[in-house]
């Protein structure tokens, strides 16, 4: 009887195996470059997604954008963070951000006045809008190993495959 009670209590304390393998800190790094009419623009994004075993999550990162001809480049860096909850059902990962936790700030910028106001504020507003959405982000899990998570957002107009590495 004693062993039965121990096993019963332990079964309530242990997460389902599917959730356990996703729990942890995942990192992502993406870069995009484009050249048009002699002007080069690049955007680098780094971030962390912390999926806690208790079903809570947090995301934070940096977006660095550089625009210029190579001689006189302008740049800015935006930092963001948001928290919420997550769950896994089969091969679907659902993340529900808590809108009031979304924070987006300009960490640095050398953009001149009007360009800074227009470009940086537009980027901040779009990122804040995305992080503050009351609609959950739903991802198809393409692959999951001990070290790598590959997902794609379901229902997006232009879905992008995102590859995360487990932080050790």
Is 7 inside a domain boundary?
A: no
For 42, residues 6+ apart whose C-beta sits below 8 A from its C-beta are 31, 32, 33, 34, 65, 66
Is 9 inside a domain boundary?
A: no
Is 5 inside a domain boundary?
A: no
The number of domains in the chain is 1
pLDDT digits over 54-65, tens only?
Answer: 999 999 999 998
Is 99 inside a domain boundary?
A: yes
Residue (of 93, 95, 83, 98) closest to 22 by Cα position? 93
pLDDT digits over 1-54, tens only?
Answer: 444 334 333 333 344 444 558 999 999 999 999 988 888 889 999 999 999 999
Beta bridge partners of 63: 45, 78
Is 64 inside a domain boundary?
A: yes
Domain ranges, residue 84? 23-166
3-class state of residue 102 by DSSP: coil
Question: Which tokens sit at 5?
Answer: 């009670």
Is 14 inside a domain boundary?
A: no
Q: How far apart are CA 35 and CA 43, in angstroms?
A: 12
Looking at 100-109, 137-146, 157-166, which range is the least confident one?
Answer: 100-109
Beta bridge partners of 74: 67
pTM, to two decimals: 0.78
Is 17 inside a domain boundary?
A: no
The CATH number for 120's domain is 2.40.128
Is 13 inside a domain boundary?
A: no
Residue (of 93, 82, 84, 98) closest to 19 by Cα position? 93
């Amino acid at each position: 009887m004693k062993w039965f009670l121990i096993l019963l209590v332990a079964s309530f304390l242990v997460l389902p195996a599917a959730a356990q393998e996703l729990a942890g800190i995942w990192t992502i790094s993406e870069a995009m470059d484009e050249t048009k009419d002699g002007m080069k623009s690049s955007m680098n994004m780094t971030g962390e997604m912390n999926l806690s075993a208790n079903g809570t999550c947090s995301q934070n990162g940096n977006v660095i954008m550089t625009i210029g001809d190579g001689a006189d480049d302008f740049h800015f860096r935006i930092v963001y963070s948001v928290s919420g909850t997550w769950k896994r059902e089969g091969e679907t990962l659902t993340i529900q951000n808590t809108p009031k936790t979304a924070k987006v700030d300009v960490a640095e910028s050398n953009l001149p006045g009007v360009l800074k106001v227009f470009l940086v504020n537009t980027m901040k507003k779009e990122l804040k809008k995305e992080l503050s959405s009351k609609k959950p982000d739903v991802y198809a899990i393409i692959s999951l190993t001990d070290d790598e998570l590959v997902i794609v957002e379901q229902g997006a107009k232009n879905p992008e495959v995102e590859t995360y590495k487990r932080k050790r």
